[in-house]
Amino acid sequence: MEKTTLVIMAAGLGSRFGGGIKQLASVGPNGEILMDYSIYNAIEAGFEEVVFIIRHDLERDFREIIGKRIEKVIPVKYAFQELDDLPVGFQRPAGRTKPWGTGQATLAAKNLIDHPFVVINADDYYGKEAFVKLHDYLAVHFEQPSDVHQICMAGFVLKNTLSKNGGVTRGVCEVDSDGYLTKVTETYEIGYRDGILTAQDEHGKPTSVRADQRVSMNMWGLLPDFFDELERGFREFLSEMEPDDLKKEYLLPRIIDRLVQEQRARVKVLETKDQWFGVTYREDQQSVANAIDALIQQGDYQEKLF
């Protein structure tokens, strides 16, 4: 059985959280943060190490608030996502302050991982089922052909991933009858307005979504050869970017969708009925704390995790 690693992307600026570091927001009865619950679920599912992707300016707080505790229960490594961490020949455009996106974040861990891994967001609660399904698929089912990337993902039900406090961004998926991804479309401002589920495309125009559609929550199961694809793709992304485009991001759903369309990847969608919740907006913090308390009361977690 293959060793598996959990990679947690925690370098985001947290702008919609009112300027605070949303990844470090306390939601548990003993100061636990959402990452604690993801790590607990991952250890329970069989993952054997954790790689945190952070920024250098977060490192001190991050190690104090979570790193030192987690190192006691599972091996931990750190990777750093920085604006100036670019391929040779490229420079950060003047005025660029927005992170380069989840593709670059994942690429930051390239030199730390040589076996199957799952990458997740730091500020999302994914439930238990998804970790078990991805771990077991990665550990047992993957055989890597030389010309096709083997990928798996947790397929959440859209209605289980919405926030009551504003619109959310989701990778809306199309899945074939064998459970493989055929298309993933980054879709924005998804939420109920006057009882109607609405959304926008990347240009801000209205687009239709269904409550029962499968969506990506940036929970991908990948193999180490995917890092080479990310590296090549990042150079292409930077080469094609307009000089005055200071917000365009190199995003995992778009990268993987392109590979699927080019028939260079097969993505198994592992369906989960788990209820997502996360700290997207400051107002989410209390509702997430309430949801965690309910899970403790029904016996899913101990009051003190570690």
Reported as a single tens digit per residue, the pLDDT across 205-251 is 999 999 999 999 999 999 999 999 999 999 999 999 887 888 899 99
The pLDDT value given to residue 145: 52
Read off the CATH number of the domain in which 23 is found.
Answer: 3.90.550.10
The pLDDT value given to residue 19: 52
The answer to whether residue 175 sits within a structural domain is yes
Domain that includes residue 41, residue range: 5-297
pTM, to two decimals: 0.92
The answer to whether residue 248 sits within a structural domain is yes
C-alpha–C-alpha distance, residues 8 and 109, integer Å: 10
The answer to whether residue 304 sits within a structural domain is no
The answer to whether residue 302 sits within a structural domain is no
Q: Write b or e for each residue in 86-97: b if 16 or more Cβ atoms lie within 10 A of its Cβ, otherwise e.
A: eeeeeeeeeebe
The Cβ of residue 278 has, within 10 Å, a number of other Cβ atoms equal to 20
Residue 144 has pLDDT above 70, yes or no: no
Number of domains in the chain: 1
**In percent, how much of the chain has pLDDT > 90?**
72
The answer to whether residue 306 sits within a structural domain is no
Task: Check residues 22 and 17 and name the one with the higher pLDDT.
Answer: 22
What is the band of 279 on the pLDDT scale with cuts at 50, 70, 90? confident
The answer to whether residues 189 and 304 touch, using CB atoms and an 8 Å cutoff, is no
The pLDDT value given to residue 18: 47
C-alpha–C-alpha distance, residues 264 and 149, integer Å: 6
The answer to whether residue 280 sits within a structural domain is yes
The answer to whether residue 288 sits within a structural domain is yes
The answer to whether residue 293 sits within a structural domain is yes
C-alpha–C-alpha distance, residues 288 and 231, integer Å: 36
